[in-house]
Structure 1
């Protein structure tokens, strides 16, 4: 840090020109974290919109199917979304249970289908939670990365001030104030990541509740033949 800084020259540009080496590492990390958070937000919003559109179309056709053969035909035409994958797992398990009739070592065919539905729901939960670890890591680590940049900047600012022999307030305030920019930058990166994380956790919880409700209806349809329509959230 240069202690001979004009007040008008303070800011991010001065911080970049006066920093080098390890002092720029926190800044680069924070920029990468911010870009990753923005990419995740845009990507997940696009995927969620596409998934919701396909899910509405699939459920509308599913509850209009007169029998399980029609449901299987709907799956054969392609159903690349959560409800279709859940239905495919349940129908596959039901067919296996029928083929293994009388040869199941533990439980009945109904329990076999139930286990398949639970495994399918677990896979959908893992798919929905993909990327949340990154957001949680950014939200928790970004303030500390910014704080490290501030500590490093203040350390070098004090070294430069001590070497120049000028310790007046106007000489100290500029370099130290520039170093504090890194702490603010770290907080500015962490706050959106935390808010986006909480948003997707909430959306995932609603999606999983809808999937579990569909799984109960599907289980009842396969075991008793009864059905109850369900809306996509």
Structure 2
């Protein structure tokens, strides 16, 4: 058993029945607690391992990172001790982008990939974003945009003290996405499943289908009722779908 649990992965230690780790990457502004319910809903054979990014929750005293390459570099370094057993990736919105580039970097450095990749609520990486640049807006305009996105509770938006704590983290996360530059590379050889919200007006159906270009293996797209944060409303359905996929026998990750 691995003797330490890096702060990036507060729940990565193997259980006695664990057969696969599921690394879960949160959306912008979110922390590991986004997946707090998931640990109870997956069978013990699937170990849910939320990713805790700097600047939130148990890492609140750390400065958030605003560059995707910096996040990926740190993640790959910290993840290396866990790669000798099978693992899968799930990411929602910004988390899907981080998970994708982490998977690509893992393959470049170690020739190892997730047994399955789940992307949720995010356009394919090569699709140019049509969204406005938000991370440099003045505070009042930034808050207006957060209201439109509907991802930040109103009680937080109305609390000036809380917003002074939350805004730097949100700005850094938006910068991660808004400064991202896609570089073409060979598609992943692992299967990809994509989840989308039927009322998610920020992520088009075409941009979800476009994830198919990033795998040379199987691809599936599944839609759920809801807006960009359908992840919470449809948690049970999403988890059930993932359990069906991950419960089939998997080959162990192997270094070459």
Is this a same-fold pair by TM over 0.5?
Answer: no
**TM-score normalised according to structure 1 size:** 0.23
Write 1 or 2 for the structure with the bigger share of strand.
2
Q: Which has the higher helix share?
A: 1
TM-score, normalised to structure 2, is: 0.22
Q: Which has the larger radius of gyration?
A: 1
Higher RCO, 1 vs 2 (CA within 8 Å, ≥6 residues apart): 1
